[in-house]
Amino acid sequence: MKLFSYLMALLLFLLQAVPGLSLPKDTLRCIGYHGFCFHSKSCPEPFAAFGTCSRRQKTCCIDTTSNFHTCQDEGGHCVPPEIKCLQEQVGLCPHREWKCCTEV
């Protein structure tokens, strides 16, 4: 699995280096969260849906067995950056700038 992640990072770097071949923003966000893009609307086990890829044509799926759990899986709530958290929680939110909070 680590080898695949390294290869994806290398591919992403090469695609960004060549003008006109950059990936869509939602795909870059998915890869940034160590996600994978699937053609189906539902993710196979042990993956969970976490947004879209390829300009909303595919589903971004993240591995639920890795350290990259969604905020809701960890018992938190995703909030925009302007809201202050009483206690922050580790977990991924669909919007990169948002925070995962256990108490708002």
Query: Is residue 38 domain-shared with residue 73, that is, in the same domain?
Result: no
Mapped onto helix, strand or coil, the DSSP state of residue 97 is coil
Alpha-carbon gap, residue 78 to 95, rounded angstroms: 8
Mean pLDDT, each 10-residue run in order, the chain (104 residues) = 64 54 80 82 84 89 73 80 84 76 75
Query: Is residue 58 domain-shared with residue 31, that is, in the same domain?
Result: yes
How many domains does the chain fold into?
2
Task: Burial-class residue 34 by CB neighbours within 10 Å (0-12, 13-18, 19+).
Answer: middle
Return the sign of the alpha-carbon dihedral for residues 43, 44, 45, 46. negative
- Check residue 104 and give its pLDDT: 57
80 located within any domain: yes
Return the sign of the alpha-carbon dihedral for residues 28, 33, 39, 41. negative
- Check residue 5 and give its pLDDT: 66
3 located within any domain: no
- Check residue 76 and give its pLDDT: 84
Query: Is residue 49 domain-shared with residue 83, that is, in the same domain?
Result: no
Dump pLDDT digits (tens) for 33-53. Answer: 778 888 888 888 888 888 889
- Check residue 56 and give its pLDDT: 87
- Check residue 39 and give its pLDDT: 86
Name the residue range of residue 60's domain.
23-67
